[in-house]
Structure 1
Amino acid sequence: MAILIPALSTCLKKMTSGERRFARRLETHLEDDYLCWFDIPVGKKRRYPDFIILHPDRGLLFLEVKDWKLSSISDLTSTQVTLHTDKGLERKANPLEQVRQCTYTVLNKLKSDLQLINHEGKYKGSLVLPYGYGVVLTNITRKQLNDAIPLDAQDTVLPPHLVICKDEMTDSVDIEVFQSQLWGMFNYTFPNQLTFPQIDRIRWHLYPEIRIQSPDQASLFEEEDFEFKHEDFSGNMPDIIKIMDIQQEQLARSLGEGHRVIHGVAGSGKTLILGYRCLHLAALLHKPILVLCFNITLASKLRSFIRDKEIEHKVQVYHFHDWCGQQLRTYHIKLVDGDNAVWERQVDSVIAGVDKGDIPRAQYGAVLIDEGHDFEADWLKLITQMVDPDTNSLLLLYDDAQSIYKHKNGLNFSLSSVGIQAQGRTTILKLNYRNTQEILQFSYQFAQTYFEQADHDDIPVIKPEAAGISGDNPIVRQFPDAESEVCFLVRCIKKWQLDGRLLQNIAILYPSSYMGKKALDALKKAGIDCIWLAKSDYKKKYDPKKNQLAILPIHSSKGLEFDTVVIIDSSHQYQNDDDVSSIVRLLYVGFTRAMKHLLVTYHEENELSESFEKIAKKKAIG
């Protein structure tokens, strides 16, 4: 069965009856190595072919689907068609000309990429993939078409081999015959099969919204025009591109209406999908969209993404307690009295304000929650009331293994108890794309014995599966004291700078503020540009694009990622903290922030350091 993006069940409402029939035929009559996109705008100019089909052997096919009846066609030329409508005669582009123009717009784009060009042999200078285009007439049979338009005239306006008719797309049509008609729309074939990297590059060009932009490449693509000339861009084309995988893209495009939950491991692309969802909803909704997370630094990163996409007038990003404060200020609600911390009383005040009707419900067209595992039940009860019932759009993303606050072991309550209607609408993401295989194995082997299985909503802590590339083993280093540990850190940063690593791609994480301050002082003394993300004011100002090294508590690193991560003072245990599992979860979060390189240092010997060394030695021997 072919992979249809979005999933057929989520786009039936927007399809015509003919499009639905043809989509079902693609699903049932093509194998699972076919990718089929329906009604997704291509490139920055947002052109809409009805279907795009990609296959490793066959190539790229563009199809325009029309539900016209023969009686509705008044006149047809090679460039336009005149239709009988309720408003009288209307002229439209000939569908074949329409899809042809879209096809060549895409081909010009693909030809700008040297990795998609043949460099030798018979096809030197041409694209590495065949291509074709055609028209599907869902309400006109082949006999009706032949009776209405003589064959010699069809060659000019709708060549027979470029048309699929109503009787050629029924559920009883032979699979081989159906496929032969599709691939008869190609003028030629190539002997070579597309590689996975080439398929990803094609998707990268077709759909800019699914690109994953690394900090050093982001500036190249933000202002890209889909219809640029070859010489404008070929010199800057990246050799290595990052893009959503097929599962992520299909999920992001197929979320549909209502409440949705994504339970994903660290590095599985949860925040990436949230960002795509923001773009999608911003184009549809009139009411503002609210994005909430727990981490102040992550909120800054998400806000930067929203600004880059120029949708900040539609999408509001807050960390939860900042949003509570904003609600109190906006609706002039006084803080409730009590001995609890201010941030706790802010939450209580907002809940009370909503209950009394002083703060309105249904303020947002959609609410998206990242880091849902760190939200209390009362918070989620409050947030679900902020969704407009007319749109009822809510997305919750979480990972039990990353619960690091208040000794929580994930969502220790049912989602239905807080008003989230997620029955049958939960997706699990197991593949980790962020970390190298070695970093992921190190992280999970260290933490797995401490992870407790959650039995709420029948969703356990899920084991991540590696999808990343292979790389260097994480390095564990012991030092006699804190001074030696920090001196080694400074030497490493200087060396990495000489090796060409950008400071913005490096992070120093720590569990204790004492070591964070010590590292900050040493790095500043060495003349290394850095920012200490320990206080909320600095966290709010964090700019992931600015080339400076980030020093931050492990707690504040959630949702972030860096090429290189150093965890200093990693075996530190807080006084009177007997719950080792909470420390392990914290370290697991820190370890999985590293995409390529992980350095773990310590100067205190205890059961944590023994675990580091044991796993590191096992990896070295293995």
Structure 2
Amino acid sequence: MAITVPETIRSSATAGERLVFRTLKIYLPDDYIVYFEPEIHGRRPDFVIIGPDLGLVVLEVKDYTKNTLFRLNHEEWHILTTSGDQAVIKSPIKQARDNVFKVVDVLKKDKSLIQTEGKYQFNLKFPYGYGVVFTRLYAKDFVEEGLYSVIEPELCLNRDEIDPDKEGFSEEILMEKIMNMFVVPYRLKDTLSKEDIDAIRYYLFPEVRISAEFKPPVPYQDQLLLSLHDIKTMDLHQENLAKQLGDKNRLIRGVAGSGKTIILASRAKMLSKQNPDWKILILCYNISLANAIQQMITHMLNEPEDLFDFNFTGGEVENPVKNHNIVVRNFHAWLKNDLKIKEGQIPNFIEKIKRKEAILPTYDAILIDEGQDFEADWLSLVSSLLNEQTQSLLLVEDRAQEIYKRKRTYVQDTGLSFQGRSKILSINYRNTAQIVKFAWDFYRKHSMLKNKVVNRELEGEIIAPQSTKRKGPEPGIIRANNFYEEMKLVARQMKKLHDERKVPYHEMLVLYRVKKTSKIPIIDIIQRSIKDAGLPYFWITENEQSKRSFEKEDGRIKISTIDSSKGLDFRAVFIVNTDSMPFPLEDDHEREVSLLYIGMTRAKEFLCLSYSGTSEFTQYLDNVLLERSKQKAEKVNIK
């Protein structure tokens, strides 16, 4: 069964389109991708098929009957409309041909996708083709009406060949026909790799780009082309979600690292593009996360549809787009700056809004990240400012990352039901399999909510993460005699990662639970140790200004509290002074478990936890070290 984007076809699609969609989905191989009506640089072909052993094929679908056709030639068709009038249209084959060559022109700009030598130099390295599916014309109709004189048999599919209920249908013939719709004389020597297919998706569908990874243009085009080997795209499941959320209110529940924020930002961009007159609001709890989303949105809006429309002089982007019609705020900044009210006034203002006594801004779409951190009356206030006609509210949450006690039900708080309007993201794309397992094992061991853990289903339950196949080193555990020694070891590890693994310093994050204790000035020792090692750093959580102004790619190691790290990710994360958790002055044990889980899942590739004292959590880490030692000894004995 092929992967389809979107997963289900829109209800307004024609009967013929629904038939083709269903047949392609069921009968094409599992590793094929079928796009229905994708927008590709101003064009909307009916179907685009990408297959590792196929290449790329564009299909147009026509529901014409024999009575529809009036006079045909290779260039244009005269057809009769349902009202009996005559219309002149471009030949469907020519439509499909024009669409595929538009696609080819876009893809040929990337050297990694073209043949650099040989007979077919400068052509795409994979075949491409096009065809037309006539869903209401049978094989006998083509013969009787002489259609093969104006349309090549190998470039069309008739009803017998596309409808599994017809006697003449054959899965083998369907595949053979699609494989022969090529307009180029060469075939694939080697199957397309995942990287090749990601590159095709990256250029054709700008919305799948993970724009947080987008870099400014470099002075020379060749350098840009060479740098694009590391392109980042959404997983197909994420792409499907972003494109098929539909209108009205929606809920996305996902595990840490599942791409929730990327989907939210992509959704905001799509809404902005489709509705340029809308006022769109993105809210989250964290100042640092609001800053990160702001940067992501700005990248997305300034990123050209065609990556090769760059100014290659190396200068700044001309007339950079700011946030257009999208406003990004952390909740309390929004209250203060946009609504001009304080948190304590919220209940009173909700009543005033109901009585139409308060004049506050309204929004056509509101998107909330880390929704689990929002109080009930916060959600009530937000939803009361939503345009009643659009009702476009997107809530994104992960209950395993809930560190603030919030009691609410969404129906009661927002007045909107999410029954049948929610999606689950259970695959962790951010972290390696080793980090996912390490963090989840810890969470299951310590969380009181472990009995509520499910793989799917109900609102309020915790989602168990599934990891991708990306592998990496086991998370490191450092046990030291005191905090000074601990930070020296951590600084040494950071320098080693930079020198030996080429991890940039701006891809490193140091997390701490508390700024200081009665015995140890935690943050002072962290900064001093990194400075003494000659490493650059920036303290994100020094004050509100530093939270709002930090830039990830500034060449400096970042230092932050675990609370403020939500929604962020770095290649290497060091959680120091872990023995301060669970924090003795914190009554909510569950919050401490969630905090450490959040900290661990910020790491994409390298994770290290260090401590020099004893706590419930460090005793668990001691046991992990002991278990690792036993396993190592057993392996030695086996050898």
TM-score by length of 1: 0.85
Q: 2:443, 2:593 within 8 Å by CA — same for their partners in 1?
A: yes
Taking structure 1 as reference, are residues 67 and 268 closer, same or farther at Cα in structure 2, changes over 3 Å only?
same
Residue number in structure 2 paired with 1:332:
none
Indicate conservation of the 8 Å contact 1:477/1:601, yes or no.
yes
Residue matched to 1:104? 101
Does the CA-based 8 Å contact 2:537-2:558 persist in structure 1?
no
Distance in 2 between residues matched to 1:363 and 1:270, nearest whole Å: 25
Q: How much identity, in percent, do the aligned residues show?
A: 32
Q: How far apart, in 1, do the equivalents of 2:393 and 2:210 lie?
A: 24
Within the candidate set 324, 337, 341, 1:313 is matched to 324
Matches within 5 A, 1:244-393: 244-285=234-275, 286-310=277-301, 312-329=323-340, 344-348=343-347, 350-360=349-359, 363-393=362-392
1:362/1:385 contact within 8 Å kept: no
CA distance in 1, matches of 2:198, 2:235: 8
Write the deviation string for residues 400-438 of structure 1: whole angstroms up to 9, x where unpaired. 110112xx3xx6433222223111222222111111112
CA contact (8 A) 1:58 1:130 kept: yes
Return closer, same or farther for 1:459/1:433 CA change in 2, 3 Å cut-off: same
Counting only pairs closer than 5 Å after superposition, residues 126-141 of structure 1 correspond to structure 2 as 127=124, 129-141=126-138
> Aligned partners of 1:478 and 1:516: how far apart in 2?
19
CA distance in structure 2 between the partners assigned to 1:123 and 1:464 by the alignment = 46
SS in 1 for 2:381: helix
Q: Determine the C-alpha separation between the residues in 1 that align with 2:562 and 2:495.
A: 22
**1:399 and 2:398 equivalent?**
yes
* Paired residue secondary structure (1:471): coil
Q: Is contact 2:45–2:96 with CA below 8 Å preserved after alignment? A: yes
Match of 1:606 among 607, 612, 615: 615
Distance 1:139 1:443 in 2: 55
Contact 1:414 1:457 in 2 (8 A): no
The one-letter code sitting in structure 2 at the alignment partner of 1:107 is V
For 2:3 and 2:338, how far apart are their aligned partners in 1? 44
In the TM superposition, 1:171-250 aligns within 5 A as: 171-173=164-166, 174-176=169-171, 177-186=173-182, 189-190=187-188, 192-213=190-211, 215=213, 218-220=215-217, 234-238=225-229, 240-250=230-240
Distance, in Å, in 2 between the alignment partners of 1:597 and 1:233 is 28
Indicate the residue corresponding to 1:506 in structure 2: 508
Partner residue of 1:51?
47
* SS of structure 2 residue aligned to 1:62: strand
Give 1:365's aligned amino acid: D
Amino acid at match of 1:269: G
Tell me the equivalent position of 1:339. none
3-state SS of 2:274 partner: coil
Which residue is equivalent to 1:162? 155
- Please give the residue correspondences for 1:1-40 in structure 2 after superposition, counting only pairs within 5 Å: 1-9=1-9, 11-13=10-12, 15-40=13-38
Deviation at 1:270, TM superposition (A): 0.9
Specify the SS of the correspondent of 2:38.
coil
Structure 1 residue 75: Cα displacement: 5.4
Which region of structure 1 is more displaced relative to structure 2, 287-296 or 99-108? 99-108
* 1:302 CA drift (Å): 0.6
1:451-479 Cα shifts (integer Å, max 9, x gaps) = 21459945521221111511112111122
For residues 14-58 of structure 1, what are the alpha-carbon distances to aligned partners after superposition, in whole Å with 9 as ceiling and x for unaligned? x3443233323323443544321011122xx33322101123333
Aligned residues: CA RMSD: 3.3
Contact 1:267 1:435 in 2 (8 A): yes
Equivalent residues of 1:534, 1:553 under 8 A apart: no
Q: What's the counterpart of residue 551 of structure 1?
A: 559
Q: SS at the partner of 1:283?
A: helix
Aligned-residue offset at 1:556: 0.3
Write the letter of the residue equivalent to 1:388. N
Q: Output the CA distance in 2 between the equivalents of 1:383 and 1:87.
A: 52
Residue 548 to residue 349, structure 1, CA distance change in 2 (3 Å): farther
Q: SS at 1:571's partner residue?
A: helix
Name the CA shift for 1:432/1:466 in 2 (closer, same or farther; >3 Å).
same
Which has the larger displacement, 368-377 or 381-390?
381-390
The answer to whether residue 571 in structure 2 is matched with residue 560 in structure 1 is no
CA deviation vs aligned residue, 1:63-97 (integer Å, no higher than 9, x gap): 12234556666654444445667898765543323
Question: Which residue type is aligned with residue 418 of structure 2?
Answer: A
2:603 aligned to which of 581, 585, 594: 594
Q: Structure 1's 532 and 275: CA in aligned 2 closer, same or farther, altered over 3 A?
A: closer
The answer as to 2:438 corresponding to 1:442 is: yes
Going from structure 1 to structure 2, the CA distance change for 1:235 and 1:367 (only over 3 Å counts) comes to same
The amino acid that maps onto 1:559 is: G
Q: Which amino acid aligns with 2:330?
A: H
Matching residue of 2:311: none
Tell me the distance in 2 between the aligned counterparts of 1:543 and 1:76: 60
Distance 1:66 1:372, change over 3 A: same
Q: SS of the counterpart of 1:367? A: strand
Contact 1:446–1:615 (Cα < 8 Å) also in 2: no
Tell me the distance in 2 between the aligned counterparts of 1:543 and 1:353. 40
- Partners of 1:309 and 1:127 lie apart in 2 by 27
1:518 aligns with 525
Task: State the shift of 1:566 in Å.
Answer: 1.1
Provide the C-alpha distance between the structure 1 equivalents of 2:460 and 2:120, rounded to a whole number of angstroms.
Answer: 52
Shift, 1:7, TM fit: 2.5
- Normalised to the residue count of structure 2, the TM-score between the two structures is 0.83
Deviations 1:314-358 (A, max 9, x none): 2111111112223433xxxxx5xxxxxxx5325445435434434
Distance 1:21 1:107 in 2: 27
SS at match of 1:249: helix
Instruction: Quote how far apart the aligned CAs of 1:273 are.
Output: 1.1
Aligned length: 590
Query: CA separation in 1, counterparts of 2:203 and 2:379?
Result: 39
Structure 1 CA distance for aligned equivalents of residues 349 and 66 of structure 2? 62
Letter in 1 for 2:246: G
Residues 231 and 474 (structure 1), Cα distance of their counterparts in 2 relative to 1, 3 Å cut: closer
* Counterpart secondary structure, 1:597: strand
1:425 paired with 2:393, answer: no
Q: Distance in 1 between matches of 2:552 and 2:68?
A: 56
Instruction: Show structure 2 runs of 5+ residues with no match.
Output: 302-321, 517-521, 633-639
